[in-house]
Amino acid sequence: MIEEIEYKKRRETLVKKLKNNSLSVLFSAVQQIRSNDTEFVFRQNSNFYYMTGFREDNCTLVFLKKKGKTKTILFVQKKDKLKELWTGKRLGVKESKKRFLVDKVYAQEDFETMLKQYMQGITSINYDFNSYTDKAKVLHAYAKDMLSYSNLAKPIEQMRLLKSPAEIALIRKAIAITKEAHHKAMQVSKECRYEYELQAEIEYVFKKNAAFSDAYTSIVASGNNANTLHYIENDKPLHHGDLILIDAGCEYNYYASDITRTIPVSGKFTQAQKELYTMVLEVELTIIKMIKPNIKRTQLQKKSEELLCAGMVKLGILKGDVQKLLKKQKHKKYYPHGIGHWMGIDVHDQAPYKDENGKELLLQSGMVMTIEPGIYIDKDDRSVPKKYRGIGIRIEDDILVTDKSYENLSQGIVKTIKELEKHE
């Protein structure tokens, strides 16, 4: 768990970035209707959670910076016995004052009244432009009259790039649970008849280990389904001789894992599958070894494309000179996505890849990113040797940038052909 003092230090860091005579506001998420009178499972706004650790809906965090002095104010839902009977206990104003290291705590109902007071002497407003609550609309009305207003999400997302030891520990835990889930899927794949059965096995492991949320909708794509990158139907039968691309990760205490493994239904790879799988794995291992501080993500992308393109030429999937094929982006037909992305509170962590001047950020110690090369060959692609058609392969690990190099946080999840055939 992350201690309250860490959230307080984050708020103090953010405040230093804010202008004098400014009002800055973060809104929590609100409950969302699924259908009629049923709601989606609540999930806190990531930036609000990063700054508070508070998991209740309908709350507001305010930073008031005047004459060089700052006050941090939290607005929370007040206690309500009737509502709590239906939806569970709330912390309330009194208990929130004890728990959170802020200057003041008020009931959320007081926000608009207090806002009028806070606005006196204010020359700039900052808030998350992606907030769509009724309270955000009120604030936006004020902001339109201001000469200066900005997106508060930007400096917070910049801070989220570098993970603290406590954050890394939560990511490790999420990955440890995901490791168990993927290994379980490998063990039972031959016994399952449908993709959704494997999905159930994976998500059972998540929940029994207190990872109550998936980091994203699990992808369990067998055969040609793997060539749909975000395939989530997971309702097709499993056939011996096919591969299954499993992209599944859990969220543990709001921190994500994101792992992809591609395994054979029968427990054994065919020769054609081995050839493609070996190519993708070698690319993944090479790219991971490149990771260290001061490397650009685009360098990793460029190298992965060069290696995969050369591999496809060697296997006869593409024909011609590698450099000419790269220039014409012919390889993109079979490798259309990026080499990886930031990961943290969000599986695709809401953090920048470029600075405010548009210059690409260099990798730094404390960043966590995925590395996930792949190849996707549709069953109807007659330009490719028949033995490779209908095969989709992706291999993905979660990598921590360290002071001098990297650590593969998901190293323990088996992925060599030998390990996978043995593990099954």
Residues 115-156: pLDDT tens digits?
989 998 899 999 988 887 777 777 777 777 776 788 999 999
Active site residue 230: yes
Supply 360's token pair. Answer: 């690409």
How is the chain split into domains, by residue range? 4-158, 165-423
* 258 is annotated as an active-site residue: yes
Does the annotation count 3 as an active-site position?
Answer: no
Tokens, residue 43? 């999930």
Alpha carbon 17 to its chain centroid, in Å, reads 25
E strand intervals along 134-230: 148-151, 213-214, 219-222
pTM score of the predicted model: 0.96
Tokens of 422: 């043995």
**Residue 382: predicted pLDDT:** 97
Selected catalytic residue, list 43, 183, 337, 389: 337
281: number of Cβ within 10 Å:
17
Cross-strand pairs, 220: 246
How do beta strands 60-66 and 69-76 pair? antiparallel
Please indicate whether residue 341 is annotated as part of the active site: yes
Q: Which long-range contacts link 77-82 to residues 24+ away (Cβ below 8 Å)?
A: 77/107, 77/108, 78/107, 78/108, 78/109
Catalytic residue selected from 56, 242, 247, 424: 247
Give CA–CA dist 423/421, Å, rounded.
Answer: 6
372 is catalytic: yes
Distance (Å, rounded) from C-alpha 267 to C-alpha 223? 14
CA pair distance 249, 229, nearest whole angstrom: 16
- Count Cβ atoms within 10 A of the Cβ of residue 386 and give its class: 0-12 exposed, 13-18 middle, 19 or more buried: exposed
Annotated catalytic residue: which of 56, 305, 346, 372?
372
- Residue 214 catalytic? no
Task: Give the span between the Cα atoms of 381 and 390, in whole angstroms.
Answer: 8
* Right CATH for 165-423 from 1.20.140.10, 3.40.50.2300, 3.40.190.10, 3.90.230.10: 3.90.230.10
* pLDDT less than 70: residues of the chain: 147, 423-424
* Given 396, 397, 398, 424, the catalytic residue: 396
> Residue 74's beta-bridge partner residues?
61, 105
Please name the residue ranges forming H helices in 237-296. Answer: 271-290
| Beta-ladder partners of 260 | 247, 396
State how far Cα 407 lies from the chain centre: 18
In contact, 95 and 109? CB cutoff 8 Å: no
Alpha helices in 189-234 (DSSP H): 195-208
Q: Which of 106, 142, 335, 376 is catalytic?
A: 376
- Contacts of residues 108-111 at CB distance under 8 Å and 24 or more positions apart, as own/partner, are 108/58, 108/59, 108/60, 108/75, 108/76, 108/77, 108/78, 109/78, 110/75, 111/60, 111/75, 111/135
Known active-site residue 193: no
Radius of gyration of the chain (CA): 24
Catalytic residue selected from 128, 195, 242, 258: 258
DSSP state of 70: E
User: Which is the catalytic residue, given 197, 297, 394, 398?
Assistant: 394
Reply yes or no on whether 37 is catalytic. yes
Return the pLDDT at 423: 67
Which one from 37, 145, 356, 403 is the annotated catalytic residue?
A: 37
Q: How many angstroms separate the CA atoms of 331 and 202, rounded?
A: 32
Q: Which of 10, 90, 297, 341 is catalytic?
A: 341
Residue 312's pLDDT is 98
Question: Is residue 205 a contact partner of residue 226, using CB atoms and an 8 Å limit?
Answer: no
The per-residue pLDDT for 131 is 80
CB 78, CB 95: distance < 8 Å:
no
Q: How far separated are the first and last CA of the chain, in Å rounded?
A: 35
Structure token pair of residue 356? 């405010």
Q: Residue 24: what pLDDT?
A: 95
**Known catalytic residue: 145?**
no
The domain 4-158 is placed in CATH, from the list 3.40.350.10, 3.40.50.300, 3.10.20.310, 3.40.50.1000, at 3.40.350.10
376 is catalytic: yes
DSSP state of 164: P
Catalytic, 419? Answer no
Take residue 18 and report the two structure tokens written for it: 């804010």
Q: Per DSSP, what are the bridge partners of residue 148?
A: 124
